[in-house]
């Protein structure tokens, strides 16, 4: 994007960090943002406690190597679904960025959401922007230490709760909570709770906008997803400039001034500490705090709102808005196709898998009756949440005989069953040294649960 300033960004990258004290704002977008923060945090902290069929609704059970996502149970064999989900998440980011710019950054990114939460606690304890700045400048005193200690204690408790919740997505949270109270937490559970707590504490309490500036890859390559029709937060210099202070009710146009009263509020509320009046900058997370701040000033001055507003480059230049453009359509089409594939695959997914491993020690052996025999180890993965009985068949060679010790194979719900089977065939029916055979597994109680697995049958070959 041409109007994007790169030089300020580059200088900023290597500049010394100055602590930013975002001023509190109120207004339409701020309320929207707070709503988003509360809803997302609510989901995060409550979700692990939700139940589904006697188990945790959302659980990435690492020890058992199973992912429970509401009614769905994914096994390591279903890795492809997770990969598809990740690809779709990435594509959605492209899609929404092309359409709405950095809404993700301003409203939904965990970094923003937790920073808002920590900032809220900071405000409650240390006071508004002015008081926070004064407190930091003030010499050490008992009162200062008390305030700071209180803030960090509250932060740390909140962080620990966050870390505990995080680990609760990977080990059943009720049991985890129980172990926590009886002091039986495993060393690695403890470690990850502390690790995640520390990361939250550091990122939301201290790093804040620096994460967006120095660590976030998205902030860097977003310009590739932007075009002149992407929604951005922008200041309108043709209306605002020349900026300057004036008394209320005076005719600023007669004084040769623009609408910006140079109150600097837009800079003070900015969580990344930039001046939006310098043009679009890569640090801007499109949080719209400056829109609310400036609108309030415009109201006070009885000027029309929107000196800083959501707009697109084209709209700002009077070229109209184009929502459906090729880029957006392409992203949308790919997303829809992927989504369709994923859903249809999930619906058609057969929660049954069969692994066939030929005995590696012997190629084949001859039985007493003169038949050629191969030995296989079968692994039956019943990925359903019901137990099932199966019937096994083998074919591929005329008169192929399957020798097992079970008529029907019973496999418990969500478990793996291993068995050894033997195949026997007459030498005359074996055309080559190695012929393809197939194992057919069919559930007796559910028609759709059937699977075919190919294998090789080895013999002496035609002589």
Partner 1 sequence: MVSTSPFPEKIPSIQKAIAVLWPSFATAIVATGIFFSAFHPKDLVPFNLDIDVSPLAAYSIGFFLFWLLGIVSSYATMYFIISNCQVLNKQQGQFTK
Q: Which residues bind ligand SF4 (CB under 6 A)?
A: 233, 235, 240, 243, 260-266, 269-272, 274, 276-277, 284-290, 293-294, 297, 307-308
Among 298, 318, 314, 317, residue whose Cα is nearest residue 306: 298
Distance CA 208, CA 105 (A): 12
Of the two residues 40 and 270, which places its CB atom closer to ligand SF4 in the complex? 270
Pick one of partner 1, ligand SF4, none as the site partner of residue 353 (Cβ within 5 to 8 A by kind): none
Least distance CB 163 / ligand SF4 (angstroms)? 28
Of the two residues 308 and 455, which places its CB atom closer to ligand SF4 in the complex? 308
* Helix (H) / strand (E) containing 90: helix 79-100
DSSP annotation of 323 reads -
Least distance CB 308 / ligand SF4 (angstroms)? 6
Pick one of ligand SF4, partner 1, none as the site partner of residue 397 (Cβ within 5 to 8 A by kind): none
Distance CA 30, CA 26 (A): 6
Q: What are phi and psi of 129, to 5 degrees?
A: -50, -50
**Dmax of the chain from CA atoms?**
113
Under 8 Å between Cβ of 356 and 398? no
Pick one of partner 1, ligand SF4, none as the site partner of residue 270 (Cβ within 5 to 8 A by kind): ligand SF4
Report helix, strand and coil shares of the chain as percent, to nearest 5.
45, 20, 35
Of the two residues 65 and 131, which places its CB atom closer to partner 1 in the complex? 65
Distance CA 441, CA 354 (A): 8
Distance CA 102, CA 96 (A): 8
Q: Give the distance, in angstroms, between the CA of residue 334 and the centroid of all CA atoms in the same chain.
A: 19
Of the two residues 59 and 269, which places its CB atom closer to ligand SF4 in the complex? 269
Of the two residues 15 and 323, which places its CB atom closer to partner 1 in the complex? 15
Of the two residues 17 and 393, which places its CB atom closer to partner 1 in the complex? 17
Pick one of partner 1, ligand SF4, none as the site partner of residue 459 (Cβ within 5 to 8 A by kind): none
Distance CA 313, CA 429 (A): 75
Least distance CB 216 / partner 1 (angstroms)? 9
Pick one of partner 1, ligand SF4, none as the site partner of residue 187 (Cβ within 5 to 8 A by kind): partner 1
Pick one of ligand SF4, partner 1, none as the site partner of residue 308 (Cβ within 5 to 8 A by kind): ligand SF4
Q: Give the distance, in angstroms, between the CA of residue 454 and the centroid of all CA atoms in the same chain.
A: 37
Pick one of partner 1, ligand SF4, none as the site partner of residue 12 (Cβ within 5 to 8 A by kind): none
Least distance CB 103 / ligand SF4 (angstroms)? 11
Of the two residues 32 and 403, which places its CB atom closer to ligand SF4 in the complex? 32
Binding residues vs partner 1 (CB under 8 A): 10, 13-14, 16-17, 62-63, 65, 76, 79, 82, 171, 186-189, 191-192, 214-215
CB proximity list for 388: less than 8 A, separation 6 or greater:
352, 382, 410, 411, 443, 444, 445, 446, 449
**Count of C-beta atoms within a 10 Å radius of residue 158:** 19
Pick one of ligand SF4, partner 1, none as the site partner of residue 294 (Cβ within 5 to 8 A by kind): ligand SF4
Of the two residues 266 and 425, which places its CB atom closer to ligand SF4 in the complex? 266
Distance CA 118, CA 113 (A): 9
């Amino acid at each position: 994007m041409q109007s994007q300033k790169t030089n300020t960004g580059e200088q900023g990258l290597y500049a010394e960090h100055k602590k930013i004290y975002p001023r509190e704002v109120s207004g339409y977008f701020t309320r929207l943002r707070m709503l988003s923060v509360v809803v997302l945090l609510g989901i995060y902290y409550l979700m692990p406690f939700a139940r589904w069929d006697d188990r945790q609704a959302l659980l990435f059970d690492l020890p058992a190597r199973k992912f429970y996502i509401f009614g769905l149970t994914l096994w390591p064999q279903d890795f492809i679904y997770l990969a598809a989900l990740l690809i779709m998440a990435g594509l959605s980011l492209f899609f929404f960025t092309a359409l709405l710019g950095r809404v993700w950054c301003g409203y939904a990114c965990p970094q923003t959401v937790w920073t808002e939460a920590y900032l809220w606690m900071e405000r409650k304890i240390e006071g508004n922007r002015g008081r926070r700045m004064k407190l930091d400048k003030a010499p050490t005193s008992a009162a200062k230490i008390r305030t700071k200690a209180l803030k960090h204690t509250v932060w740390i408790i909140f962080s620990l709760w966050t870390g505990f919740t995080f680990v609760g997505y990977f080990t059943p949270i009720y049991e985890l909570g129980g172990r926590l109270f009886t002091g039986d937490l495993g060393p690695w559970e403890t470690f990850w709770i502390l690790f995640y707590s520390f990361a939250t504490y550091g990122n939301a309490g201290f790093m804040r906008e620096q994460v967006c500036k120095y660590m976030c890859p998205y902030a860097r390559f977003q310009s590739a997803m932007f075009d002149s029709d992407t929604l951005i937060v922008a200041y309108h210099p043709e209306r605002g400039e020349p900026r300057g202070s004036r008394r209320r009710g005076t005719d600023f146009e007669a004084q040769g001034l623009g609408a910006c009263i140079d109150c600097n509020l837009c800079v003070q509320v900015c969580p990344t500490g930039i001046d939006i009046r310098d043009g679009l900058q890569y640090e801007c997370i499109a949080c719209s705090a400056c829109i609310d701040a400036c609108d309030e000033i415009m109201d006070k001055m009885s000027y029309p709102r929107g000196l800083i507003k959501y707009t697109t480059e084209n709209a700002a230049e009077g070229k109209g808005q184009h929502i459906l453009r090729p880029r957006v359509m392409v992203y949308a089409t790919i997303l829809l196709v992927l989504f369709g594939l994923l859903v249809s695959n999930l619906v058609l997914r057969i929660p049954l898998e069969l692994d066939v491993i030929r005995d590696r020690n012997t190629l084949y052996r001859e039985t007493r009756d003169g038949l050629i025999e191969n030995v296989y180890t079968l692994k039956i993965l019943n990925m359903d949440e019901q137990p099932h009985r199966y019937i096994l068949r083998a074919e591929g060679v005329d008169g192929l005989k399957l020798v097992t010790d079970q008529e029907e194979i019973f496999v418990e719900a969500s478990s793996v069953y291993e068995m050894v089977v033997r195949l026997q065939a007459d030498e005359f029916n074996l055309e080559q040294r190695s012929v393809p055979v197939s194992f057919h597994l069919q559930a007796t109680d559910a028609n759709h649960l059937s699977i075919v697995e190919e294998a090789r049958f080895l013999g002496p070959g035609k002589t």
